[in-house]
Amino acid sequence: MQPNTLLDAILDEAGISHAGLAAHVNQAGRSRGLALRYEHTAVARWLKGQRPRGQVPDLICEVLAARLQRPVTLDDIGLGLPGEPAAPHGTTLSGFVERATALWRSDEQQRPHILGAPAVTGTPAVMPVWEWENPPEDVDVSRGGRHRVSMADIEMLRAARAHYEQMYRKAGGVATRTRIVGFLNSETAPLLRGSYTDATGRQLHRATGGLVAVAGICAYDSDAHGLAQRYFHQALRLAKASGDRGLGAYVIALLVNQSLFMREYRQAVAFAEAALRAAGRQITPALASDLYAMQAKAYAHLGDGSSALSCIRRAEQAAERIRRGHEPDETGYVQPGLVNVQVAEALLSLGDLTAAREHAEAAVDNPAHDRGRVHRLGMLSQIELRQGNADKAAVTAVEMAERARGMESQRLRDRLRAVREHLVASGCAGTAEAAELIDGALRVPL
């Protein structure tokens, strides 16, 4: 029996206590000739996943609809019957908003079934990308609500996205996730349920999509891959509602990166193709370069050297067209040297160590934020070890460990552990110091 997170979220939105819902249901039942005597304990059982009997689910919808002044369906409160088609309202943008905000609330409450959910594969993983790419489009995203959304509200969301992205880069996703999820619940959810025109709504959904994408990145960095995937799928749906194809392509790039981590290489190639194809002219050189570079890594892992080298050339050509100041905020992560380190990883998989080292050194020579620099140094150290230059690899690893200290990130921990393991196996003179520094960085509690 799974907790009913949708009912929990909509009760919070309506501002009704457990006892208050029970009393209102009893009163609504009397108007239908029913003698109901529910108390708060019954509502607690419903929230734990128990389905109330008879007409009670419909009465709950009636009570909440009157309170919220909008239609509320059984699917909206998590009481739709299994096997029956969802009500049309449940597939609308409004229905999506209710499910999205319910997920944010469950994440903030640290519900185990949400945090521990595995990432989906196959058709469930592909469908959100297909739906983003194909009709129907959202004709009108306006909404009526209690609070009228202003441009100041939207600017607040944009500023929050930039703030949490910087926090993630400096402190890691583990430390940042609780803060951004709290912001989604306290500030973003009320805006999505507010009142706005179509034009304002599209900007609101775009700003929210960028923020939700960062929440997904933080979940990915915390090893909560099923949750990260759900955030990415939400961000993709929000991107579609905004009408911004470039934002959608950025979100798909995040899904490509996760697919690479999960070794779903063919999926990574297909997703990148979808982004490049569907975004068209709205895709920027920075994003195109990253998508081509990740495709190269996927092809290299699949053993398709010809396709990998073709994608590397395209990534490098796109990188040459990047113009700082002409890119959206979301693609700021494509800093100088990022394509080099992606290409280095692809070449390493293909066995071209000399070219891989050239790209890795070029990546390290370019300035990068703290997190990116740790990954670049880790890649260079790994290549140096593969070339038999263990002493040089140990020096690089020392710098990597020093920069990683204090960051709470599962992905960086993976990188640190891999480098330590390879260093110890090499038996070089500088291993002891590097291993000690890496152990110190790994002692940061998550």
Which residue among 363, 395, 422 closes a domain? Answer: 363
Assess whether 264 and 353 both reside in one domain. yes
Residue 97 lies in a domain: no
Q: Which pLDDT value is given to residue 88?
A: 41
Identify the residue with better confidence: 418 or 159: 159
Q: What is this structure's pTM?
A: 0.85
Rank 57-61, 217-221, 406-410 by mean pLDDT and report only the highest: 217-221
pLDDT band at 79 (very low <50, low <70, confident <90, very high): confident
Residue 108 lies in a domain: no
Which residue among 344, 363, 382 closes a domain? Answer: 363
Assess whether 172 and 258 both reside in one domain. yes
Tokens of 90: 């449940």
Assess whether 292 and 393 both reside in one domain. no
Q: Which pLDDT value is given to residue 89?
A: 40
Which residue among 31, 56, 91 closes a domain? Answer: 91
Assess whether 233 and 355 both reside in one domain. yes
Inform me whether the pLDDT recorded for 422 exceeds 90. no
Question: Mean pLDDT in the chain?
Answer: 91
pLDDT band at 31 (very low <50, low <70, confident <90, very high): confident
Rank 5-9, 355-359, 371-375 by mean pLDDT and report only the highest: 355-359
Mean pLDDT lowest for which of 3-12, 142-151, 339-348? 3-12
Neighbours of 392 (CB within 10 A): 16
Average pLDDT over residues 208-228: 97
pLDDT band at 82 (very low <50, low <70, confident <90, very high): low
Residue 104 lies in a domain: no
Residue 81 lies in a domain: yes
Q: Which CATH number belongs to the domain containing residue 227 in this structure?
A: 1.25.40.10
Any alpha helices (H) in 366-427, and if so which ranges? 370-386, 390-404, 410-426
Inform me whether the pLDDT recorded for 168 exceeds 90. yes
Assess whether 186 and 220 both reside in one domain. yes
Using DSSP, state whether 175 is helix, strand or coil: helix
Residue 105 lies in a domain: no
Assess whether 34 and 182 both reside in one domain. no
Residue 188 lies in a domain: yes
Assess whether 236 and 355 both reside in one domain. yes
pLDDT band at 257 (very low <50, low <70, confident <90, very high): very high
Q: Which pLDDT value is given to residue 90?
A: 40
Q: Which pLDDT value is given to residue 83?
A: 53
Burial group, residue 342, by CB count within 10 angstroms (0-12, 13-18, 19+): buried
Identify the residue with better confidence: 303 or 70: 303
Residue 100 lies in a domain: no
Inform me whether the pLDDT recorded for 190 exceeds 50. yes
Identify the residue with better confidence: 344 or 91: 344
Residue 99 lies in a domain: no
Burial group, residue 156, by CB count within 10 angstroms (0-12, 13-18, 19+): middle
Inform me whether the pLDDT recorded for 445 exceeds 70. no
Query: DSSP label at 87?
Result: P
- Expressed as residue numbers, the domain containing 441 is 369-446
Distances (CA, A) of 273 to 266, 279, 316, 319: 11, 10, 17, 18
Assess whether 201 and 296 both reside in one domain. yes
Average pLDDT over residues 143-158: 94
- Interhelix angle 265-279/245-261, rounded to 10 degrees, is 170
Assess whether 250 and 326 both reside in one domain. yes
Tokens of 375: 């990954």
Q: Which pLDDT value is given to residue 439?
A: 87
Q: Which pLDDT value is given to residue 268?
A: 97
Inform me whether the pLDDT recorded for 255 exceeds 70. yes
Assess whether 200 and 330 both reside in one domain. yes
Average pLDDT over residues 358-377: 93
Q: Which pLDDT value is given to residue 86?
A: 45
Domain count, the chain: 3
Inform me whether the pLDDT recorded for 163 exceeds 70. yes
Residue 222 CA to residue 227 CA, distance in Å, equals 10
Inform me whether the pLDDT recorded for 446 exceeds 60. no
Buried b / exposed e over 240-259, threshold 16 CB at 10 Å, is: bbbbbbbbbbbbbbbbbbbb
Q: Which pLDDT value is given to residue 224?
A: 96
Using DSSP, state whether 148 is helix, strand or coil: strand
Average pLDDT over residues 400-424: 88
Identify the residue with better confidence: 48 or 254: 254
Assess whether 191 and 333 both reside in one domain. yes
Average pLDDT over residues 84-100: 68
Average pLDDT over residues 248-277: 97
Assess whether 144 and 210 both reside in one domain. yes
